[in-house]
Amino acid sequence: MKDFASPPASLPTSPETAPHPPTVSEARLLSVLDTAADGIIVIDEHARILIFNKACERMFGISAAEAVGQNVKLVMPTEYARQHDAYVGSYIRTGVKKIIGIGREVQGRHADGTVFPLELSVGEAATPDGRQFIGILRDLRPRKESEQRLADLQSELVHLARVSAIDEMGAAIAHELNQPLTALMLYLQAIRRAHSRGVDIVTVVGDILDKAAGEAERAGHIIQRMRQFVEKRDPERHARALDPLIDEAIDLTLLGQRHRIRIEREAGQNLPPVSVDPVQVQQIVVNLVRNAIEAAAGAPDPAIRIRTLASDGSVRLEVQDNGPGIAPEALPKLFEAFASSKRRGMGLGLAISRTIAQNHGGDLLVDPGGNGRGACFTLVLPAAPVPDEVG
Amino acid sequence: MRVHVVEDDAGVSDSLALILRNIGHDVVSHRDAESLFKGPVPEAGDTVIVDLSLPGIPGAQLVRWLLNLAAPPRVVVITGQSQGFIDHQLRGLMPDGVMRKPLDVDAIARVLPHA
Ligand SMILES: Nc1ncnc2c1ncn2[C@@H]1O[C@H](COP(=O)(O)OP(=O)(O)OP(=O)(O)O)[C@@H](O)[C@H]1O
Ligand SMILES: [Mg+2]
């Protein structure tokens, strides 16, 4: 390492090669880099490796001590390696960015010769010692395999998704049923106790029994709505007003919700009916409202606006939230199955919703929002044909 | 004895108040933690029944506040949520009782001192 330049002031080098022992903050930064799940490589203007974190050691089978000071070509297959010097050189001369700031898929080479796909994003930092480039690398192999496996299961999933939505809501539904059951039990026991003690309850008993019956009815409703939603049925078409369907679906969604959320509901005036499978349309509403609630959960005053309106020959439903909007990188795949940013999400809600919308001759559209605006999803359904007036 | 009930579900709250009065307690009902804070602080001889899933200030936070009072009342948690949820919410808190919904009068009588 005869010509190894002195390490830059802004970024610490690996302790093995640093000419001075790392300072406390440098050591802290290095240990943070070492805990990162992604590979991180920092190179200088001459493509020499300054930092090579633990994840990189595993990814390429090369130790930091070996890597630091060498040209970054070390971890590239030969054909890339040849172009790389040219890239760096041309960027430094012309400032034309071929990769900086843009994530993309490239090939990496393990010490044992294996070439594998990597996602690489590169950032740039100006330091007193010249420009440095920071590469963040993610091994794409595990993801590729699971994409394949998931694609094989795709055909089964439309039904599964519905069941999964129920499953996730299951605990909350149980909670919801517990409320009327508790009230019912206590009302009945209150009467029973009074009765067995010979207390005169004639004046209040009718009232209490009415309340008890009301609670039983409430429990029944919860079950009825769940059943409608889960049962598999042949597609149907009924001319229906959209708003009552939406209101019911909103109630259903809120059942499974622990978060406090403000819902603004605006129903359009004189909307024409739509020709729909009511359960499927409600499924779309549940998906959109669940997503909106999840997106808005981090907002200081979580709120969603749900409104309907007529627009030439069709009826529109808009679901607007005040969350962060949709990340630009998520947008191209938004409606594809398995595109999810959530830990427990299957990424099926929107895929299924758009399919249903299109099977109805309509569509599902998105305004991604961002910069302080939440996302807005629009379901468009054609108005039902008007039956000929009789007489 | 005075029993405060902090429960947002109208049906549960009303029926619970009915049965508690029936047993002979003096009942004060609150829709949420905020409205309990507006009234007089529960005393050592009182019991406070808290639903874990409250709108606004979470039930667990109210439980913590009550247990930290200089002269804490008896605190009983009621909930319809899963055991996992309960454990998570109550980390480190030791209320005098935890009752899972659906409730019945015997369960209630067991966790309350006799009137
Ligand atoms: N209102 C929204 N605001 C911001 N991002 C959203 C919104 N709706 C959807 N997204 C993004 O789109 C992704 C896909 O949504 P989709 O409903 O298809 O799947 P999911 O919600 O992740 O999982 P699930 O299968 O449980 O619905 C989400 O993971 C999220 O990143
Ligand atoms: Mg979703």
- Going from the Cα of A278 to the center of ligand 2, the distance in angstroms, rounded, reads 19
Each residue of A281-329: pLDDT tens digit?
Answer: 988 998 999 999 999 998 999 999 999 999 989 999 999 999 999 999 8
pLDDT at A352 over 90: no
Is this prediction's pTM over 0.90? no
Identify whether A4 is part of a domain.
no
Pocket (CB within 6 angstroms of ligand 1): A 287, 291-292, 295, 321, 323, 325-326, 330, 334, 339-342, 345-351, 375
> Among A73, A104, A139, which residue terminates a domain?
A139
**Which tens digits make up the pLDDT trace of A132-188?**
888 899 888 877 666 665 555 543 444 555 555 555 556 556 777 888 999 999 999
Q: Do B16 and A186 touch (CB under 8 A)?
A: yes
Together in a domain, A126 and A218: no
B54-99 per-position pLDDT tens digit: 988 999 999 999 999 999 999 999 998 878 788 889 998 999 999 9
- pLDDT at residue A13 in the model: 47
**Number of Cβ within a 10 Å radius of residue A365:** 15
Residue A285 in tokens: 């509403």
Domain identity same for A89 and A195? no
Q: What single-letter DSSP state applies at residue A273?
A: P
pLDDT (tens digit per residue) in A55-64: 999 999 999 9
Nearest CA, atom 19, ligand 1: A347
Q: Are residues A160 and A108 in the same domain?
A: no
pLDDT grade, residue A6 (50/70/90)?
very low
Residue A3 lies in a domain: no
> What domain count does chain B have?
1
Closest residue by CA, ligand 1 atom 27: A349
Which of A119, A139, A159 is the endpoint of a domain?
A: A139
Residues A114 and A206 in one domain: no
Task: Collapse the DSSP code of A79 into the 3-class scheme (helix H, G, I; strand E, B; otherwise coil) and give the result.
Answer: helix
Reported for A298-304, long-range contacts at CB under 8 A and 24+ positions apart, including other chains, are A298/A323, A298/A324, A299/A323, A299/A374, A301/A262, A302/A259, A302/A260, A302/A261, A302/A262, A303/A261, A303/A262, A303/A263, A303/A264, A304/A261, A304/A262, A304/A263, A304/A264
Number of structural domains chain A divides into: 2
The reply to whether A30 falls in a domain is yes
Ligand nearest to the CA of A342: 1
Q: The CATH number of the domain where B54 resides is what?
A: 3.40.50.2300
A229-242: pLDDT as tens digits: 555 556 678 999 99
Highest mean pLDDT among A83-87, A139-143, A243-247: A243-247
Reported ipTM: 0.87
Q: Which domain holds residue B71?
A: 2-111
How far, in Å, is the centroid of ligand 1 from the Cα of B28?
Answer: 43
| Of residues B11, B23, B82, nearest to A179 (C-beta) | B11
Residue at A9 is within a domain: no
Size of interface A-B (CB pairs under 8 A): 76
CATH code of the domain covering residue A304: 3.30.565.10
Which among A93, A112, A139 is the end of a domain? A139
Domain of residue A54: give its range. Answer: 15-139
Residue with tokens 């959320």: A261
State the Cα–Cα distance between residues A235 and A225, nearest whole angstrom.
18
Residue A382 has pLDDT above 90, yes or no: yes
The answer, yes or no, to whether residue B38 has pLDDT greater than 70, is yes
